[in-house]
Amino acid sequence: MNIIRKFIESKSPLEKNLEKELKKILGFKPKNLFYYKKAFIHSSVKAVDEKGIPLNYERLEFLGDAMLNAVIATYLFNKVPTANEGYLTQMRSKIVSRHHLNELGMDLNLIRFVKSNVSVDKFGDNIHGNVFEALLGAIFLDRGYDGIEKFIHTRVIIPYVDISKLEGKVSSYKSLIIEWCQKQKKEFHFEIYEDSGNDKIKQFSVRLLIDSKQVAKGRATSKKKAEEMAAKRAYYVLQNKIG
């Protein structure tokens, strides 16, 4: 029996410690610890069950994402009864944004539970949000909708959700810039340009052109992040015009 099978099935000091730490996070003792163990297994371990089905957190992450969206949507629907669909969708997007989920996972220090064949320092920030969503999936399977709703209210809504602050928060500078350019009938283009740096980690350098003129640049470990950074800098350059 490999170490992951032992981690999954055994009644060991490791299991008891996980149960103890989870109780502090969850506010209750897990009924079925199996779901929570699975929520912290990274796909790099390549563990499978007796039927050959992968044992990792990815399916739980999918389930947790769906449950989080459902609970937040219900909360907003009841909290802001006069809001239209567009407003509710935008507010939900801000609450469940990847950046926010990563913060939640970091605050709970869920990375300490992860079993992986990849060094932790090689993970990107998204691992924190992914594991947080997997934990939500485990809670739903263990405690049902009432259990996951209570946890999200306690750990997400009460400490982090402030409607008035969220209304003024920009969830995507890239979307904001694109929308402004379209309204103003301006041409825009995000362009990756060559980088001569010698960084060990691959970096993407992007510049934003509006009406063929460079407005801002961004540099990050992914094209998407670099574009968002360039858009954010462009927003502050054009803030008076965008309003």
* Helix (H), strand (E), coil (C) string for the chain: CCHHHHHHHCCCHHHHHHHHHHHHHHCCCCCCHHHHHHCCECHHHCCECCCCCECCCHHHHHHHHHHHHHHHHHHHHHHCCCCCHHHHHHHHHHHCCHHHHHHHHHHCCHHHHCECCCCHHHCCCHHHHHHHHHHHHHHHHHHHHHHHHHHHHHHHHHHHCCHHHHHCCCCCHHHHHHHHHHHCCCCEEEEECCCCCCCCCCCEEEEEEECCEEEEEEEECCHHHHHHHHHHHHHHHHHHHHC
**Residues 19, 58, 65, 107: which is the catalytic one?**
65
Q: Is 133 a catalytic residue?
A: yes
Q: Is 195 a catalytic residue?
A: no
**Residues 61, 133, 142, 149: which is the catalytic one?**
133
Residue 23 in contact with residue 115, Cβ under 8 Å? Answer: no
Residue 147 in contact with residue 26, Cβ under 8 Å? Answer: no
Active site residues: 65, 133
